[in-house]
Amino acid sequence: MTKMFKKHSLLILLIIGSIFRVFISFNTYSGDLTNHMIWGEDAVKHGLQGLYERNFEKIYGHTSPNYPPLIILIFAILYLLKNLVYQIAWLLNLHVSFFPSNLIFFLRDFDYFPYLLKLPAIFADIGIAYITYLFFKKNKPGNEATSQLATVFVLFNPAYFYNSAYWGQTDSLPLFFLLVSFYALIYQKKIFFSAILFILGLLSKQTVVIFIPLYLMLLYQSSSLKILVKTFLVSLIFFCSFFLPFYQKGNLLTFPFSTYLNKILLSPGIPYTSNHAFNIWYLLTGSRKTLASSNFNLNVSYEIWGFFAASLLIILVLLKLIKSRFQPKNIFYAGFLIPLTSFLFLTKMHERHLILTLPFLLLISYDNKLLLISYIFISLFNFFNMYHNWWSPEISILKNSLSNNQIINFLTIFLIIFYFFSLLNYSGLSSKNKKNIID
């Protein structure tokens, strides 16, 4: 029995992680899933054509679709699956004598659609755990125990399972595509495959946009000009093809790009400096109190100041990466710093967006205990930030602690200080003649 467990221990861990997520997924779901349910149902009943032009606020009293086409298609497929399950059960009830008829009433009365909507993110969590295992196999060859331990830090990380299986958000799905894309590009040199995966990330959620400069730099240094041109054309066609079913009127050639820009990236959303993200703007203005478009200093808006600060810092990170000649550890470090920079300094950020930092931080912690402690801290910080926005399930001691603004401010200031120390450490890591201050 022990021998069998050792042989299949990774598979057993992944199965346990899956069962755990499915189990907690039936407890509840956030109000955000109502939007996803409406988008999926509307796509099936009224068709994909013109979906991004429909006024969902007026029709349903809910947010109009502001997610990319792939995730909308997934919502629609899951709505069809929901109906198919009921139809199959009804058919079995009519023709199979021992079929439990009470199940028909259960399927009719119990709305299981929101729980179906959690499945893509749950599967993505498991995928992230497995691709993390593969990354560690490359970074720590021959150390199976460390590689499997890395999967544990994903599978049973509250920042992951609270976001996907409990809350019902989809942030894990684009993150999975992103990680597999990086793995295929860095270790397998599969340029076309990697590019398609990256596009799938962009098509599943717009949060992947912040990784475009980093990815393009990696792509450029990984292949010849001829392959780059082919990759760009194939990726462009692949990207545009997902928008074609949604086209209704206007310029067909510009429709994919104008829709992604105006209906997805720049969609109104929640227009405040901080949409409950514990960052620098939360410290200065609080959550959902100050419009990002209002003036901050020198007659310039908070939004512009945030964009300028984040862009400047990200450019510095990318310049250091070029200087380091794209060593894998520096790539992962940049992959960690870019979303953390965005989370801390861009306006309109949500608490969930910090999850983008976690897989990359874990990948650079394989030989550094302090970075592993940092990974645990940011994971808990992300969980606390999400929990503060929902208070579910109600845990009195946690709710009372996080209701104290001084505690929140302390944690946020600590994260900002940690960010600048990480930036300094990265600069040392990327310079041959400088000592790594953390190591």
Least confident of 238-242, 284-288, 335-339: 284-288
pLDDT of residue 438: 36
Using the 8-state DSSP alphabet, how is residue 65 labeled?
Answer: P
Nearest Cα to 329, choosing from 375, 366, 374? Answer: 366
> What is the spatial distance between Cα 173 and Cα 171, in angstroms, rounded to a whole number?
6
Nearest Cα to 22, choosing from 148, 176, 126? Answer: 126
Spacing of C-alpha 189 from chain mean position: 24
Nearest Cα to 26, choosing from 118, 99, 92, 102? Answer: 118
pLDDT of residue 437: 34
> What is the spatial distance between Cα 103 and Cα 112, in angstroms, rounded to a whole number?
13
Band (100; pLDDT cuts 50, 70, 90): confident
pLDDT of residue 121: 98
Report, as an integer, the average pLDDT of 241-248: 97
pLDDT digits (tens, 9 = 90+) for 14-40: 999 999 999 999 989 988 899 999 999
- H or E element: which one contains 301? strand 300-301
Band (439; pLDDT cuts 50, 70, 90): very low
Token pair of 135 as six digits: 């990354």
pLDDT of residue 307: 97
pLDDT of residue 104: 77
pLDDT of residue 433: 38
Least confident of 105-109, 236-240, 307-311, 414-418: 105-109
Whether omega for the bond prior to residue 393 falls within 30 degrees of 0, making it cis, is: yes
| 107 pLDDT above the threshold of 80 | no
Greater pLDDT, 409 or 437 = 409
Band (3; pLDDT cuts 50, 70, 90): low
Kindly give the pairing relationship between strand 274-275 and strand 295-297: unpaired
pLDDT digits (tens, 9 = 90+) for 124-174: 999 999 999 999 999 888 789 999 999 999 999 999 999 999 999 999 999
Residue type, 248: Q
pLDDT of residue 190: 96
Residue 349: strand, helix, or coil: strand
Distances (CA, A) of 58 to 38, 55, 64: 13, 6, 9
Residue 142: strand, helix, or coil: coil
| 434 pLDDT above the threshold of 60 | no
Band (108; pLDDT cuts 50, 70, 90): confident
Q: What is the DSSP string of 306-343?
A: HHHHHHHHHHHHHHHHHHTT--HHHHHHHHHHHHHHHH
Band (436; pLDDT cuts 50, 70, 90): very low
pLDDT digits (tens, 9 = 90+) for 195-223: 999 999 999 999 999 999 999 999 999 88
Residues 6+ away with beta carbon under 8 Å from 227: 191
| 96 pLDDT above the threshold of 90 | no
Across 9-38, b (16+ Cβ under 10 Å) vs e yields eeeebbeebbeebeebbeeebbebbbbbbb
Residues 6+ away with beta carbon under 8 Å from 289: 272, 273
Band (269; pLDDT cuts 50, 70, 90): confident
Greater pLDDT, 95 or 268 = 95
Would you tell me how many other CB atoms lie within 10 Å of the CB of residue 270? 13
pLDDT of residue 435: 44
Band (50; pLDDT cuts 50, 70, 90): very high
Band (242; pLDDT cuts 50, 70, 90): very high
| 272 pLDDT above the threshold of 60 | yes
Least confident of 20-29, 61-70, 100-109: 100-109
Band (430; pLDDT cuts 50, 70, 90): low
pLDDT digits (tens, 9 = 90+) for 334-393: 999 999 999 999 999 999 999 999 999 999 998 899 999 999 999 999 999 999 999 999
Token pair of 184 as six digits: 């295929």
Q: Please state whether the predicted TM-score (pTM) of the whole model is above 0.85.
A: yes
| 1 pLDDT above the threshold of 60 | no
Residues 6+ away with beta carbon under 8 Å from 304: none
